[in-house]
Amino acid sequence: MIRCLATMIAVATTVCAVVSPSLGEPFYKGKTVRILTSESGSGYDATARLVARHLPAHIDGGLTAVVQTMPGATIKIPLYLSTVVRGDSTVIGAINNAVAFAPLLGVPQADFDPTTFNWLGSPSTEVGLVLVWHTVPVYTIEDARNRELIMGVGNGSSSATFYGRLLNEVLGVKFRLLQGYAGMAQAFLAMERGETEGFPSTLWNSLKSTKAEWLAEKKVRMLVQYGRNPAPDLPDVPVARDLVRSDEDRMLLDAAVAPLDMGRPFTMPPGADPENVRVMRTAIMATFTDPAFVEEAEKLHFDVDKTPKSGDDLLAIVRRVYAAPEVVRTRLQNLYKQN
C-alpha cells in the first residue's frame, strides 16, 4: 500500500512537470510592456514615463517598459483596452481620470464598463482649486455668492466648465463662465491681462509646478479647494465639502470630484490573466513607494502620496459613483449636458 502510494506521487509529479514545463518562470521576463497615454507632454504622459523608468526594477525577471502615445480623444485608450487588446497582460493604460465616468455621463462612444477594468493604482490624488486674481475684490465664498466672477474656461465639455457649473450649483456662487479659451495656459494669460477674474478648476500639483512665481508673489487668491481629501499644505483654504448646504449636494459633489480622487490612474485591460494582474499591481505599488521614484518625481515637481491608491482603491471609487442614487447620477448628467 505504501509502495503504491509512493509510485502514484512520483507519477503525479512527473505529469505536472510535463504539463507545466515553465512552472515558476516569470511571465514578464523578456517581454515588452506598453504604457499608453493620450497626449505627449501632458502630466499623464510625464507620469507614465516616470513609471516606465522605474517599474522594471520591481518585476521578477525584468521587462522592457515603453510609453506609446495614442493622440486624439482621451476616450480612445479605454475603448482600445476593452476591445482591441482585451485580455492582453502586456498593455497598461495611463488614462485620464475623468474617462472612467464617461459612460455614466452619457459621453458619446463611451461604450465600455470601467468596473471590469483591472485597475493597478495611482501615485497621487488631486485637489482642485478656484483661483481669483489678486486685484479682484472677492475674498470668500460668501463674496462670490454676492458678486459675479468672470471665469475663463474652454468649451462646454471641458473639466473647468464642468466644475464651474458644479460649484455654481452646490455652493450658490456666481461664476460667469466665459468659454472659448483653448486651454488653461490661455485662461491664465487672460487673468493676467484683466480679461477675466479667475479660473474655476486648476490642480494644486500643477499650480505648484507651473506657476510657482504666482504663489511666491501672491498673484492669485485660492477661494476654495475641492476633492475628497483636502490638501494638507493648504490648511487655510476652505474646503467645498464643508460649505455645501444639503446632503444631496454633498453626494453630488463627492461623485463629481471622484476623478480627482483617482489621481493619475493606471489600469490593465479587462480579461487580463488574474495572476499577471496581481504581479503588476504589486510591482506598480512598489514603484510608487520606491525612494528613487519619489526622488525623481520631486525633481519634476510632482507630489507622490505617502499612501498611494491601490487597484482595489480605484475600483472602489468607480463602483461608489456608479452606485450613487439616481437623483445624483441624473444631476451629474445634466451638468455635463449643459453644453
Binning pLDDT at 50, 70 and 90, where does residue 154 land? confident
CA distance 316 to 312: 6
> Selecting from 3.10.180.10, 3.20.20.80, 3.30.460.10, 3.40.190.10, what CATH number does the domain 128-259 have?
3.40.190.10
Compare 112 and 20 and report the one with higher pLDDT.
112
The whole-number average pLDDT for the span 307-317 is 97
**What are the structural domain ranges in the chain?**
32-124+263-337, 128-259
What percent of the chain is modeled with pLDDT above 90?
74
Q: How confident is the model at residue 148 (pLDDT cuts 50, 70, 90)?
A: very high
Q: Which CATH number fits domain 32-124+263-337: 3.40.50.300, 3.40.190.150, 3.30.230.70, 3.40.50.620?
A: 3.40.190.150
Residues 6+ apart with CB under 8 A from 96: 38, 44, 74
Task: Specify whether the CB–CB gap between 149 and 336 falls below 8 A.
Answer: no
pLDDT at residue 9 tops 60: no
Alpha carbon distance, N-terminus to C-terminus of the chain? 80
Alpha-carbon span 196 to 132, nearest angstrom = 9
Give the residue from 212, 232, 234 showing the smallest Cα distance to 223: 234
pLDDT tens for each residue of 58-78:
999 889 999 999 987 789 999
User: Among 15-24, 187-196, 245-254, which stretch is predicted with the lowest mean pLDDT?
Assistant: 15-24
pLDDT digits (tens, 9 = 90+) for 192-222: 999 999 999 998 988 887 898 999 999 999 9
Q: What is the C-alpha to C-alpha distance for residues 206 and 303, in angstroms, rounded to an integer? A: 10
**pLDDT mean over 224-252:** 94
DSSP secondary structure letters along 119-188: EEEES----EEEEEETTSS--SHHHHHHS-EEEE--STTSHHHHHHHHHHHHH---EEEE---SSHHHHH
Edge-first strand listing for the sheet containing 91-94: 64-69, 32-37, 91-94, 266-268, 118-122, 309-310
> Under DSSP, is residue 22 helix (H, G, I), strand (E, B) or coil?
coil
* Spatial separation of the C-alpha atoms in residues 243 and 170, rounded to whole Å: 9
- Predicted confidence (pLDDT) at residue 144 exceeds the cutoff of 50: yes
* pLDDT score for 222: 97
Question: What does the pLDDT read at residue 182?
Answer: 83
pLDDT band at 283 (very low <50, low <70, confident <90, very high): very high
